[in-house]
Amino acid sequence: MKCNKVKRILAGMHFAREDIAGTFAVRAYSATGIRVGDTDFTCSLILSASGVIDDWRPQHAHELQQDDFEPVLKLGPEILLLGTGSTLAFPSPAITGQLLQSGIGVEVMDTAAACRTYNILLSEQRHVVAALLQG
């Protein structure tokens, strides 16, 4: 699935702090997209201090598979924030088990909370990755 990247204001956006270091902070989010830097994304993505992976396959929590977290393993964060869309939806432990066995902490929350938490941890210069589902 090709991700739509647009340079426009998304309707109903909530705006985040501007004092976060780095280009890859979440600047705004809504039910229809996430703004990272100056770019709005309307699909699921993986976000870290070093970049954005905007071709992340799953769009909904029920689509998550263990292989979907391979890019996260390559980034090797201390913590993964999994945003599951507009509602909290826990994946099966078998799906996140590989991350935990690799020493990566996993926190599951709705995507809005994951965006806020990501920015806080990013501002603390923690090695955090956010996997953010839109659906």
How far apart CA 10 and CA 65 sit, in angstroms, is 29
How far apart CA 81 and CA 10 sit, in angstroms, is 23
- Predicted local distance difference test score (pLDDT) of residue 23: 74
pLDDT at 25 over 70: yes
For the segment 95-118, the average pLDDT, to the nearest whole number, is 95
Give the helix, strand, coil percentages of the chain, each rounded to 5: 25, 30, 45
With a pLDDT cut of 70, the percent of the chain lying above it is: 84
Of 126, 134, 117, the C-alpha closest to 46 is 134
Domain ranges of the chain: 5-133
Terminal alpha carbon distance of the chain = 14
pTM, full prediction: 0.85
5-133 has which CATH code?
3.40.1230.10
How far apart CA 89 and CA 69 sit, in angstroms, is 16
pLDDT at 16 over 50: no
